[in-house]
Amino acid sequence: SSGNGAGAAAASQSGASLAALEVKFAERQRSPHCLLVKEHQVREGTDTSHPPRRTLFVLNVPPYCGPDSLSRLFSRCGHVQSVDICDKPGPGEKKDKSASKFFDHKTLKGFQVAYVVFRKPTAIQAAKALSQQGPLLISTESHPVKTGISKWIASYEASIVDPNELKAEVDAYMQDYDKKVAEEEAKAAKEEGVPDEEGWVKVTRKGRKPGLPRTEAANLRVLEKEKQKRARKELLNFYAWQHRETKREHIAQLRKKFEEDKQRIALMRAQRKFRPY
């Protein structure tokens, strides 16, 4: 943290628009950690989730500093509307409210960046002014920030899956999926046979022989049926197969004899040429 703080101070003193904000995660911590803050400036309409003039861009955020900690830190400057932590700077995207707790869970590693959105633009200047104060304490007794071994223990405990919660999430997902499939089927049935604006009618694969599902078990069943069908056909047409083989051998012999006759005729023609000497 001290090395990052020195780099932050150098960047701030070199005339950059970043301000170095010193923070501490414990009272006994000797070297403060520096957060680099500045106003988030983008073109209008390019970042809808992080509006300009109300968003504070924060760099050098440690992995153990979560959105709640940053929200409590900057709440002294004004009402914090939202805090988004990302791996690297980029355009903000709307987060899925139905994000899974167990699936597609991404663990952030290393230092990150954060976007702190205030309700009023005046809070941006107040946040920059915090760099003139002494080190600010993020971790308190009422809201401690876990670091070191305690953080590892908490991460391990959080990685243990609760079967009841997992079952509830899977059931909710399947209910939403079944509802979506039913809506799509109802929409397809409603539009079936109805021509579009250009007069075309959509044809679906419905009938007495619907398409087979693309699964491994279905493919194995199809291959087994084809194998049995081929075995029965070979058994029934055994003598016909012998007849076909005889015809093939006869044709091969005729072709061989034809090639030999062509070579013999060519040799005879060459011998009949006039040779005066």
Q: 102-158, pLDDT tens digit by residue? A: 666 566 567 889 999 999 888 888 888 888 887 888 877 677 777 767 777 877 777
Task: Quote the CA–CA distance of 76 and 257 in Å, as a whole number.
Answer: 104
Please check whether residues 80 and 187 belong to one and the same domain: no
Task: Quote the CA–CA distance of 248 and 254 in Å, as a whole number.
Answer: 10
Please check whether residues 57 and 172 belong to one and the same domain: no
Residues in the chain: 277
Within 10 angstroms of residue 121's Cβ, the number of other Cβ atoms is 14
What global pTM score does this model have? 0.49
Please check whether residues 166 and 126 belong to one and the same domain: no
Determine, yes or no, domain membership for 141.
yes
Determine, yes or no, domain membership for 200.
no
Averaged pLDDT for residues 218-238:
76
Helix, strand, or coil (residue 247): helix
Determine, yes or no, domain membership for 223.
no
Predicted pLDDT at 11: 41
Determine, yes or no, domain membership for 122.
yes
Most trustworthy range by pLDDT among 23-27, 66-70, 112-116: 112-116
Residue 61 has pLDDT above 70, yes or no: yes
Residue 246 pLDDT level (bands cut at 50, 70, 90): confident
Please check whether residues 23 and 153 belong to one and the same domain: yes
Please check whether residues 69 and 30 belong to one and the same domain: yes
Predicted pLDDT at 257: 94
Structural domain including 149 reads: 19-94+102-158
Please check whether residues 79 and 169 belong to one and the same domain: no
Q: Which of the listed residues 158, 173, 203 is the one where a domain comes to its end?
A: 158
Predicted pLDDT at 198: 75
Q: Higher pLDDT residue, 56 or 157?
A: 56
Task: Quote the CA–CA distance of 39 and 115 in Å, as a whole number.
Answer: 10
Please check whether residues 43 and 140 belong to one and the same domain: yes
The number of distinct structural domains making up the chain is 3
Predicted pLDDT at 259: 93
Longest dimension (CA), the chain: 124
Please check whether residues 30 and 109 belong to one and the same domain: yes
Determine, yes or no, domain membership for 272.
yes
Least Cα distance to 125 among 53, 173, 179 occurs for: 53
Residue 4 has pLDDT above 60, yes or no: no
